[in-house]
Amino acid sequence: MKLNDIDTPAVLIDIDRAEANLKKFQTYADNHSLTVRPHVKTHKLPRFAKRAVELGAIGITCQKLGEAEVMADAGLTDIFVPYNIIGKAKLERLANLNERITISVTADSEVTICGYAEAFAGRHKPLTVLVECDTGMGRCGVQSPEEAVALAKLIDASKGLVFAGFVTYPQTGAVEANEAFLAKAETLAIAAGLDPRIISNGGSPDMWRAHEVKSATEHRPGTYIYMDRFQVAKGAGTWDDCALTVLATVVSRPTENRAIVDAGSKVLSSDTFGMEGFGRVVEYPDAIISSLSEEHGTIDLSSSKNKPEIGDRIRIIPNHACVVSNLFDSVILISDDTVVEVAPVAARGRVD
């Protein structure tokens, strides 16, 4: 099967580039005495999760229990879920997973910790919990090292729970602030007689600066396996590192400078990350994907010397590869122009 045999729109994964990306960061981490715990939200494929572990990753990261359940069913045995698990139904699922594999979670409030303690008190296997710290991202997480240590003490004192350390998903470019927060939290925790054996840092945009967060013991890159337009813009990789592309067909040329492709917001997602347009057209890099409706992508060709015709097929590097993965039931794994496998996206839609 060749690329010309594939109907569009379709997601293509260059397995040689994905492999190279996995190896490159694993080598970097090994050279800087960091463990790697890659985030599977980007690909949602057990084969790539397993491959990362084969190359040296300590385990994997899943954002939601649904992803973790899929990966556990596929044979992954060490999973971190950096999310507040709230509610009786989810806590029961978490307890079941904890009996099957090595799993850890996060908390950033007393409410979350008390929920864990109630669910795990009396069970023969305790739950491992890290305190989530907001070091600039402005999402979840405690707001100061002092708050982090207060929660660490609560975890340590709670039956059924084990305190393991601190975790952050930092703001891009805030390496120094991230290190300062985590280092202080670690120092305060040790002074309080606690053992923060894991200091977990994350993100792909700053992954080549991960060694500058000297208190961190592990790093959780996600998009690094595929790369995308945003990662290239941030200097994490180059266009030649981008393993995921969307194959699309030009279905209309209403004007000289406008082309319409069969890839809209249900294919490319509407994320821009502050960039102009919704992706990079590989064959026409000066073109701009100017707008998306659900099933149509509009391409502005006014700055492009060469222009596609109706029926031409193009490849698009999306702004955000992770969302694109979750929009498709399957992806097409390729090597050069040869189809290697049509792979179901096993954890697609598992946002529960």
CATH of the domain at 129: 3.20.20.10
Spell out the residues 6+ positions from residue 179 whose beta carbon is closer than 8 angstroms to its own. Answer: 212, 213, 214, 215, 216
- 207 and 328 in a single domain? The answer is no
Distance CA 137, CA 171 (A): 4
Residue 349 lies in a domain: no
214 with 298, same domain: the answer is no
330: domain CATH number is 2.40.37.20
In the structure, how many helices (H) and strands (E) does the chain have?
10, 17
- Enter the tokens of residue 5: 């045999």
The boundaries of the domain holding residue 255 are: 3-10+237-344
CA distance linking residue 199 with residue 270, whole number of Å: 33
Domain boundary among 170, 205, 226: 226
**Residue 37 and residue 93 in one domain:** yes
Each residue's pLDDT expressed in tens, for the chain with a length of 352 residues:
788 899 999 999 999 999 999 999 999 999 999 999 999 999 999 999 999 999 999 999 999 999 999 999 999 999 999 999 999 999 999 999 999 999 999 999 999 999 999 999 989 999 999 999 999 999 999 999 999 999 999 999 999 999 999 999 999 888 999 999 999 999 999 999 999 999 999 999 999 999 999 999 999 999 999 999 999 999 999 999 999 999 999 999 999 999 999 999 999 999 999 999 999 999 999 999 999 999 999 999 999 999 999 999 999 999 999 999 999 999 999 999 899 999 999 999 999 9
Rounded Cα–Cα distance for residues 29 and 58 (Å): 11
Is 350 a domain residue? no
User: DSSP character for 336?
Assistant: T
Considering the domain architecture, whether residues 152 and 264 belong to the same structural domain is answered as: no
33 and 172 part of one domain: yes
Does residue 219 share a domain with residue 250? no
Same domain flag for 140 and 59: yes
Same domain flag for 129 and 157 = yes
- The total number of structural domains in the chain stands at 2
- 182 and 43 in a single domain? The answer is yes
Is residue 99 located within the same domain as residue 220? yes
- Identify whether 46 is part of a domain: yes
pTM: predicted TM-score of the whole model, two decimal places: 0.95
106: left (phi over 0), alpha (psi -120 to 50) or beta: beta
DSSP SS3 for 255:
strand
Alpha-carbon torsion, ordered 257, 258, 261, 264, to 10 deg = 130
